Structure 1
């Protein structure tokens, strides 16, 4: 993943909550401007303020106007990101105090912090159940138990953006996402990952999702970072959901000429505003065919990789 941390989330500037309980709050927060709060534990050996995440979150709730918190971004919470509490836990326990929370980013970390394949997340279903007015949820990493979907089938009326960034999403999780009902969802991104790291999802796992049932407002669909990108493109070629999209994102994976040819042979794509294919394995000739066939569509063909062995952009 990108080594840089998010500096803006959901249109709000990200400001760090100080670990030192005597340090002043950031100026932007003191001025009453809407911000996205970044919460991150100092996990270095001998750290002066070595809070666990529950301890840090308790301090956070005591120092800020909890009811006015709109967005929270969680960075590192333990050395292995699998102990010392979890963002889902602390948020659910404080749900009655966070009436204004609308946006959450779990594990905004880069490879300098920890590899994405090492981030273990429990199911996030309790978070959506506890925050029926949540509008945006980003989750980086994979499930702590591959046999337990990170998101169980659920109906949520308010969610507009849902992003799972992972190099290791198993089939069980991807199938479960497709069984959810999100009548307000406008943007959905799923990073499939590499089977060597647990990313076992395939085109068979998105059959329910591709019908568009329960996703009437979806306009941006990202099915990306997949070793099976050609098969996913082929499944999308005649999928009902494509007709309602303005952006189709098949980037970061192993898309080759076979998948691109399937898209061209399928339903018309001229209604799209953007077709994002960056980090791909297309031949120059196939890239030219796409651009010629879809002159009114912005097509991102950057990062063409001329390699015999295909790989996804986000794995370890």
Structure 2
């Protein structure tokens, strides 16, 4: 599985792709109200006739950007080979023209444009520093991703989607002061694609001290999902969560047994562990334990794939890798 469709909505708004320069259709001349959609600005990832910064300049000229609430950065030219420094610089330079911006997603790039593990990223912290009123920020792609520790007073939702999240980026998020953050969603990925964080690097998330408002925690798409669940079994942050998401990873009976043997989970509104490698018996036990307490449990396996070699070695895979 990989990312094969663009965002259909973001920050509670339907996504609308800003038209290409040569688009002469009615859609290009009758744009929606600036505040009514999440605007996606992107160019062709391969052999683009327009650079992303030029498309963004057209957007700034065509739309009353003082009313824009949400912005989605789509593909930039040769995203598989080029760091988006100029894209980030263009956004930072336009910060005064986007006073109402509250949601920003950086890198809405699908597999046909560039596989998630190929997307070359960079230091995304200038975007958070440039937009102190942001409430929601997301970024896709872990290749060369840099996320130093930051402080942001208003950010309520942070999503990092990768096939492999570098340990320094994980530590940067873990070291950030985000007092308003309610939702954190990290796709940790696999070591094959640069996801080299261990459970010890996630300890600040388990403690939750830098994230006093956190109620929705996702630590997922990981090859160490069992170890994460074992740590969550006694993690202080769990007691105040409404949603716990450990989906999309290599989760087996060992991880769920640890969760069920640890602190109570019956206070949760939802436990998401879709794409898993659970036995029928363990899945039944999980549902019988939590569903009577009103917990919505997503334990679907979602075509989780595994391979067995002739020597009996079993290989299991995260949902989104390459």
TM, length-normalised to structure 1: 0.92
Q: Is the 8 A contact 1:76 1:113 kept in 2?
A: yes
Provide the C-alpha distance between the structure 2 equivalents of 1:58 and 1:103, rounded to a whole number of angstroms: 19
Change (3 A) 1:167 1:306: closer
Moved more, 54-63 or 297-306: 297-306
Gapped regions of structure 2 (runs ≥ 5): 307-313
How do 1:270-281 and structure 2 match up within 5 A?
A: 270-281=266-277
Match of 1:284 in 2: 280
How do 1:160-239 and structure 2 match up within 5 A?
A: 160-239=156-235
Shift of 1:237: 0.7
Moved more, 72-81 or 240-249: 72-81
Change (3 A) 1:30 1:269: closer
Moved more, 81-90 or 273-282: 81-90
Provide the C-alpha distance between the structure 2 equivalents of 1:185 and 1:272, rounded to a whole number of angstroms: 18
Provide the C-alpha distance between the structure 2 equivalents of 1:293 and 1:30, rounded to a whole number of angstroms: 48
Q: Is the 8 A contact 1:53 1:85 kept in 2?
A: no
Alignment coverage as a number of residue pairs: 309
Shift of 1:81: 3.9
Residue 263 (structure 2) aligned to one of 261, 264, 267 = 267
How do 1:68-79 and structure 2 match up within 5 A?
A: 68-79=67-78
Match of 1:141 in 2: 141
Shift of 1:27: 7.1
Q: Is the 8 A contact 1:123 1:143 kept in 2?
A: no
Q: Is the 8 A contact 1:181 1:213 kept in 2?
A: no
Shift of 1:29: 3.7
TM, length-normalised to structure 2: 0.90
2:318 is the alignment partner of 1:312: yes
Shift of 1:22: 7.5
Moved more, 101-110 or 298-307: 298-307
2:252 is the alignment partner of 1:256: yes
Shift of 1:85: 4.4
Provide the C-alpha distance between the structure 1 equivalents of 2:168 and 2:278, rounded to a whole number of angstroms: 30
Shift of 1:70: 1.1
Secondary structure of 1:288's aligned partner: helix
The root-mean-square deviation of aligned C-alpha atoms, in Å, is 2.0
Match of 1:11 in 2: 12
Match of 2:311 in 1: none
Match of 2:64 in 1: 65
Change (3 A) 1:303 1:157: same
Change (3 A) 1:185 1:28: farther
| Partner deviation per Cα, 1:190-233 (whole Å, 9 max, x = no partner) | 01111011111221111112111121211110000111001000
